[in-house]
Structure 1
Amino acid sequence: MNVLSLLLSLVLVLNMTLASVIIFRERRDIGSTWAWLLVLYFIPLLGFALYLFFAQNYRRSRLFEWKEIDRTGTEEAAREQLALISADGHAMGNPAAGDYHDLIAMHLKANKALYTEDNEVELLLDGKQKFDRLFRDIAEAQDHIHVQYYIIQKDELGIKLIRALAEKARSGVSVRLLYDELGSRRLNRRILQELRDAGGIAEAFFPSKFRLINVRLNYRNHRKLVIIDGKVGYVGGFNVGDEYLGLDPKFGYWRDTHLRVRGGAVHAMQTRFILDWNYASRADIHYRPELFPEPEAAFGAAGVQIVASGPESKLEYIKNGYVKMISSAKRSILIQTPYFVPDAGYLDALRIAALSGVQVSIMIPDKPDHPFIYWATLSYIGVMLRAGVSVYLYRNGFIHAKTIVVDEEIASVGTANMDVRSFKLNFEVNAFLYDREVSAKLAEAFREDIKVSEALTLERYGQRSRRIRIKESVSRLLSPIL
């Protein structure tokens, strides 16, 4: 009994100490603080272990540095653009950009996200379309290929990508592959060896320091970027695996949104990749002009800013961009996301928009791929329905797109979901688009998806069972740390 009393006392002291750290030192947001305190209270020993694995705070860290970044000229250009916008908010050539100069200025000031408007933006809404296009670009690469994905599966598509990269490496093209260790946990050295033997380099982000133990597993690099010869860039929701081609019977057809970009925005994507790569690899990328080639002519007229965010960021840059877009809406807001677990600021912005007469529409899957997050999503969807938001359940497979379109004038497409994890915990990257033509195409894609979706009414939502309501309540309580 004395030993048991001692153990219980020790657990109590550990919990109180950790609770004090959470409250007074970490200075987390209130929702996350209460969620962790509940975990510690109800499951003391396991809660302590969970906190060690899932609750590190990188806000004060400076993870990504590149000593040669000034040679790209982006920081100086960003300062000049900010000064120009401050002097004349409508100095841009693209009409949509001129109307949203304050959003551009916010990203420039907070994230140093250079604005370019010489871009051609191609929408890729289908897995086969996306990967056919990608493999053609890889085959045509002359100087370098930089690839970054959260998930690369050990299946037919994943192996096809590795072999395509290996073939280019054997031909003398510089090939670098960066993958997230948790997301791509099925990859192994044998699969990557072909690429390495061919002269390519593959690195894992936040790898385990000890086998089967990774205290940083809660902070994942969710970014998906491909840059080819510094001229073509890809960003969006697709990972690499057969399911993204619609070949997994569990999900069926996979609906996602990706962008193929040519123009000045590719340089910003290149910079983001180099920052991530130099953190993960000992083989640093050094500046050379071939990484940032000057375009011979403008490929298009779309305005683009590449905005990155992560747990090391001082602010939630992508979420702030979403909220600013929502608050700017006059007519319509179209959102597609597989997970809808917003924080209070994002939720209030949408609710205010809907209540003020803006037509807000949200599309989510009608099936879960992560049950807890799905039930939490449904709980927040109830709030939206009561505010008059139109909600659609996508029924033609699984929708994984992360898009928002405002007034069919501006849009954002990228890797960040509309949830707390993407806002605070994952490393994400989005393209903010200032172009009416591209935004109209995204809006049209949304309307096409409505044809294979079911409208969720407030009446039907109110008919869900008590069991589902309990699942929603528990999941919502834990949503700040899901």
Structure 2
Amino acid sequence: MTVILMLHTLLVITFTIRILLRDDLSPPVRLAWFIVLNVLPYFGSVIYFLFGETDLGNRADKRHREIFAEIRAKASWFMGEAANTEKLIEPVYRPAFRYAGSINGFHPSAGNTAELMSDGDETLSRMVADIDAAKDHVHVLYYIWIDDNTGHAIAEALIRAARRGVTCRAMADGLGSRAMINSALWQRMKEAGVHLAVALSLKHPIRTILTSRLDLRNHRKITVIDSRITYCGSRNSADPEFLVKAKYAPWVDIMLRFTGPVVVQNQLLFASDWMQATNQSLDCIVLSSQPVEGGFPAKVMGVGPTERHGATPQLFANLIACAQSELTLSTPYFVPDATVLEALCAAAHRGVAVSLIFPKVNDSWIVAAASRSYYHRLLDAGCIIHEFKGGLLHAKTLTIDGKISLIGSSNLDLRSFDLNYENNILLQDEATTLAITERQQSYINRSEVVDLPTVLAWHYHQRIWHNVIATIGPVL
């Protein structure tokens, strides 16, 4: 009994000291770990060892710095100039664009266009047509790549392109696309001449566990064709029926097809991941910029565990603070930190019409419970909450004042904030923002409003459950 007590005490003290020594943790996150370690010391110690640190290791951090130093040295003119923010962006929104530019050095460039895809079928047909028309190169990176109709069609298009001499590079996340990476289709792509790489490979899982953590993932969705076209949005290389979680289907995504200088910025973001996975230099990637007459200003924003901590919530807080009249946000996973939660409440309190759209049924019970723990605060502040009923709303969108849009792969949860590599495009354009706003309205039309009386009527055990999960959410 004495030995067990000593072991218990040693474990708690050791991990408590480690947690207290970490300056990157917020007080709520520390509190969550303290609760778990004291209530379940053995289980909690194992969980902290596996998932407590958000670090890919010194080697990955060093390589990341080297890659972006090379990109800045060889391709800084493609990244846009900081002065462009003052020239191209309306004064009230400049703070957010300045902050976005501080993350990894991408700044707004004029001359971009965007076309909102009507649905998943059009997205797939346009992507395949663009790949089939490629003359020089095609680069793709997907978190989830499934050998279903969509995933198979993209793979076959890459095979056709490679066989006619187009340089094709394809990357997939080692966890999210593990079935594809081990499939015959992946091997066929390799045999056809498609250059393949795995982002954050799990080839040596024990080493990953000992030096990092298994759930640090590349969540990006990037498609670039000939440096002329890029697709950005929430869709993986998978059908809306999403076979791996079919009972929540359809997955409702949003995708935009871009042309202009923002394409080469997305190309550089892809290149950073390719260089990290293959150890190749930037010289292997073809770069060119083709502005469109009369196009709007836009920039790429990439974040991840090797970027500045807190960059994503701070960007969202800056954008929310810029809103003057209206703000609409859709996300499948809403577990904000205090930075984002307070920004949303403050915007509503100062008279901004804040509309939030979440799925009514979520594929993550943790997220579903944690999300609802924030409803009372948001509704008290004056936010309007809609729960989407037509499948799992997977679209990640933010529109502000009918002028500013952010679209991409980032959710408003702790995974996107701390653990995942994400890619987004931030733009200023009334026509594009109107198109996205109309799509958001179509989500609202298929949703039910959650009002304050409904939340107050929740049974006490529901409220306790939501708040317990939110409290230990950083651990889960």
TM beyond 0.5: yes
Tell me if structure 2 keeps the 8 A contact 1:307–1:430. Answer: yes
Tell me if structure 2 keeps the 8 A contact 1:247–1:253. Answer: no
Give the secondary structure class of the aligned counterpart of 2:248.
Answer: coil
Give the secondary structure class of the aligned counterpart of 1:391.
Answer: strand
Give the secondary structure class of the aligned counterpart of 1:360.
Answer: strand
Aligned residue number for residue 163 of structure 1: 156
Distance 1:308 1:231 in 2: 19
Structure 1 residues 281 and 438, CA gap change in structure 2 (3 angstroms): same
Aligned residue number for residue 69 of structure 1: 71
Alignment of 1:12-411 (within 5 A): 12-25=9-22, 27-58=24-55, 61-64=61-64, 65-66=66-67, 68-70=70-72, 72-74=74-76, 78=80, 81-83=81-83, 89=86, 91-92=87-88, 97-187=90-180, 188-210=182-204, 214-215=208-209, 216-243=213-240, 250-282=247-279, 284-287=280-283, 291-295=286-290, 298=292, 300-411=294-405
How far does residue 477 in structure 1 lie from its aligned partner after superposition?
1.0
User: Does 2:474 correspond to 1:477?
Assistant: no
Structure 1 residues 366 and 16, CA gap change in structure 2 (3 angstroms): same
Structure 1 residues 374 and 84, CA gap change in structure 2 (3 angstroms): closer
Residue 100 of structure 1 aligns with an amino acid whose one-letter code is: Y
Identity, % of aligned pairs? 30
Tell me if structure 1 keeps the 8 A contact 2:145–2:151. Answer: yes
Distance 2:220 2:79 in 1: 25
Distance 2:78 2:256 in 1: 27
Distance 2:343 2:138 in 1: 40
Give the secondary structure class of the aligned counterpart of 2:458.
Answer: coil
Residue 410 of structure 2 aligns with an amino acid whose one-letter code is: A
Tell me if structure 1 keeps the 8 A contact 2:110–2:297. Answer: yes
How far does residue 261 in structure 1 lie from its aligned partner after superposition?
0.8
Gaps of 5+ in 2: none
Deviations 1:412-454 (A, max 9, x none): 0011111122112211111111111111221122222222111
Distance 2:78 2:172 in 1: 31
Tell me if structure 2 keeps the 8 A contact 1:415–1:428. Answer: yes
Distance 1:322 1:25 in 2: 24
Give the secondary structure class of the aligned counterpart of 2:356.
Answer: strand
Deviations 1:147-206 (A, max 9, x none): 111111233322232222122212221111111111113221433100111111222222
How far does residue 363 in structure 1 lie from its aligned partner after superposition?
0.5
Aligned residue number for residue 6 of structure 2: 9
Further displaced range: 314-323 or 203-212? 203-212
Deviations 1:374-421 (A, max 9, x none): 110111122211211111111122211111111111110011111122
Structure 1 residues 429 and 22, CA gap change in structure 2 (3 angstroms): same
Further displaced range: 315-324 or 115-124? 315-324
Distance 2:17 2:73 in 1: 45
Tell me if structure 1 keeps the 8 A contact 2:240–2:252. Answer: no
Distance 1:200 1:73 in 2: 25
Residue 475 of structure 2 aligns with an amino acid whose one-letter code is: I
Tell me if structure 2 keeps the 8 A contact 1:340–1:381. Answer: no
Residue 292 of structure 1 aligns with an amino acid whose one-letter code is: L
How far does residue 35 in structure 1 lie from its aligned partner after superposition?
1.4
Distance 1:27 1:62 in 2: 19
TM-score (norm 2): 0.91
Distance 2:351 2:96 in 1: 22
Deviations 1:279-314 (A, max 9, x none): 1124x25326x721242x516512111011112222
Distance 1:436 1:313 in 2: 31
Residue 225 of structure 1 aligns with an amino acid whose one-letter code is: I
Number of aligned positions between the proteins? 467
Gaps of 5+ in 1: none
Structure 1 residues 27 and 417, CA gap change in structure 2 (3 angstroms): closer
Further displaced range: 114-123 or 441-450? 441-450
Aligned partner (choices 418, 442, 457) of residue 424 of structure 1: 418
Give the secondary structure class of the aligned counterpart of 1:225.
Answer: strand
